[in-house]
Structure 1
Amino acid sequence: MAGAGLVTASLFSPCAIAFNKPKERLGVALVGLGYYSTDLLAPALQKTKNCYLAGIVTGSPEKAEAWKNKYNIPDKNIYNYKSFDQIANNPEIDVVYIVLPPVLHKEYTIRAAKAGKHVFCEKPMAMNARECEEMIRACKDNKRSLSIGYRCQHDPNTQEYMRIAREKRLGNVQLISCAAGYRESRAGNWKVKREMGGGAMYDMGVYALQGARLAAGEEPVSLTAQHVTNRPEIFSDADEITHFQLHFPSGAVASCTGSHGIQTNFLKVNYDKGQLHMDAFSAYNGNKGFSTLGEIRYPVDNQQAKQMDEDALAIMQNKPQLVPGEEGMRDIRIVEAIYQAAKTGKTIKLG
């Protein structure tokens, strides 16, 4: 496989130096077997070329047995949350993919890094920027790679509107409108529990934030925000809808929404020489749109497979990840400021 021979000892633990032949595929263990792992990541790992489903970590014996039978996972590659650290002794598992509620992201990233495993971590990266810093530090100290699960940055449709901004093919960005949301009605789900990392801003608002940042091609310098709650019987703790407004150094302004109350997914950009409209812009498949330059429609067979293949290849080639921990932390700093703005009603300046 192209690139497999470029693995160097600098990125792998000392024990890996004993292997004369580099791996052609990396073994991935999924941590947490909820909807995203079950319906999306596991099927995607049946399509990947640079990595494969090697193991699982779950607190449910019933799920462990079902996955063992469905994917032919050997008993030695099945862990629970108490035995997780023993994964350090398993050379078949190279990468741990953390698909748990955000409140657990820091703990399992650090434990994985200390066990000598590379880390893919789902978004949002963590509960706050301090936790992000600890995760980044743990991976660097243990010479492990850390990538955040921003699948959209691997999508060529996203890369196209990033390119338009970067190359200023339609001039300067003036106005951005962006929203991502669905209607969450599960009262007991962790996504409506703030202490677990739930809330519209953390879950769906990060997509809108990413859309605005990437379409602008620059980082915001100040923001304002507002929360809206229409169903307090469900959203007594976490935000149901968060509107936020970003101001960029060029003078561009973005009006964004992250929602657990409205089904929406679009990105609109006005430039001084044209416009762009993506609908959808951050869906699992079928992202498409158009700009003054023409249609934007690059079909992707499987976003998650593309994401994991490219992240695995970066590890094997000892190259930087497309979406490293620093990118996840950049968003979390802004998310924290958005909550502060919504609480105080003030404009928050970003450093």
Structure 2
Amino acid sequence: MTFPATARTDHELGLDAIRRARELTEPVLRELVDRLGPSLGDVGRYHFGWRSEGCGSAGKAIRPTMAVLAAEAVGAEASAAVPAAAAVELVHNFSLIHDDIIDNDELRRGRRAVWKEYGVPEAILIGDALHSEAFGVLLSSGRPNAAAAAMRLSTAMREVVVGQVDDIRFTERPWTGEQAVSVAEYQAMAEAKTGALLAFSAAAGALLGGASEAVADCFDRLGRHLGLAFQCTDDVLGIWGDPENTGKPVFGDLREGKRTLPVIAALSAGGSASERLGVLVERGVRTDFELRLAAELVAEAGGREFAEREAARHLAEVDDCLTALSMPAETRACFNALSQSLIGRTR
């Protein structure tokens, strides 16, 4: 595979890989959505941003890019990974549509969420249809190991759903005491909810490229560690991120009472700051002063440092996985660039 001569920096390499994956995957996605028929297809086109009013393609295409790079890493053409790339985009968007209903979120990427635009029944049904099409595009691909890839997708989706349930139930538990969410519980939830689909993307791309199950397992681990690094970083952003860069309000996760890694780690650390934080969050963080104080206490108790250290640890694991895998230097550089594009956005 030859990379454009202009793709020299990590940023440019990452953008080029994402562009190639999107160009390969989007025509397949459009075809699959179109065959859902005029009514349901229209709902799908709205969600993906393909309506005639000029909306661009939805999403960052990180997961399809993982699949394409994995196929190239094992010596296959990028096109070999397209069924996996399309499948992961379909199930990812299925989960987004249903999550918006569960979370009562009215906006998705700056537009009305599907359930607000078309109603809950049609939002549920388009999500179900995308989920079904994901398995169809894999099993009808004729690629070697397609059935094995479909089995991995089934496992990943079970993890995603269980992770989502755990995430919901965490909000019903107390902040402190024996019933509080532990760091280990949170990390297991994050691996399921965030890491599983990235793991599927990489493993399935390798499988469709002709790799063995053992090699696919290495790519699975790479995706999981990258997903956990992403989630750790996202949790830091959710409290201290710059709204101009993140699109989220400062202290947003604290305002919403989300159980995220910096807060959970701070509450379990012990010490004066941890105890003061526990009293504050149990009472409820409402005012701007309380939000600032809570953020300061999380940092003072070591919660921010812990989350950033965990992100760095998982990135090191990603690097170890890449070192253990034989692949062209250009592909390895693209994987590194993709990792940095996910994690470096907080810096």
Q: Using structure 1 for the length normalisation, give the TM-score.
A: 0.30
Which structure's residues are more often strand, by fraction?
Answer: 1
Q: Using structure 2 for the length normalisation, give the TM-score.
A: 0.31
Which structure's residues are more often helix, by fraction?
Answer: 2
